[in-house]
Amino acid sequence: MDEPAKPLPGDLEDRAGFAAKALARGQWKQLKRLAKPKTAGDLGRWYDKVRPKQWADVSEQTAIEVVVGKPNQQVKKYEQDKPVLDATVLVGIEVAGAPEDSQIKDLSLHFSQDEEAQWWIDGERMLADTVVPQGASKGRKPAAKGAQ
């Protein structure tokens, strides 16, 4: 039986860190909870592309270090004279024991704010901004834009 889900973090940086840890641990259901409405399918395709196959054995006990950069926010639109924002947050993810080439230095996470000022990962933008390197074989880790 599944435990009830813990509340999602409230602020943008904490949500970015939550998303990065969910990606590292292979916790798709946790990441999906952050998906902007109607973008979970795209977010799932993004997840499958960017999660290194070398992280297949990462568990709840594996040490994960996440570095969350300063958000870059832009006004998307105005709702009743209040700005609704988009943001991009760069995260770095280091998984203990994983090969050096599987560590992620700068992964762009794209968020959109809803009318209640809550932040949600925009799966459509995430997938659109993913670049698979030329010559990458199936199952190899592609780099996202901004990834090193």
Number of domains present in the structure of the chain: 1
Query: Do the strands 119-121 and 104-113 form a parallel or antiparallel pair, or are they unpaired?
Result: antiparallel
Bridge-based pairing of strands 82-95 and 72-79 is antiparallel
82 lies in some domain: yes
Rounded CA separation 78/117 (Å): 12
CATH number at residue 96: 3.10.450
Provide the pairing of β-strand 82-95 with 104-113: antiparallel
Residue 137's domain spans which residues?
12-144
Q: pLDDT for 46-81, tens place per residue?
A: 999 999 999 999 988 999 999 999 999 888 777 777
* Amino acid at site 40: A
**In contact, 50 and 141? CB cutoff 8 Å:** yes
| 23 is a domain residue | yes
pLDDT of residue 3: 60
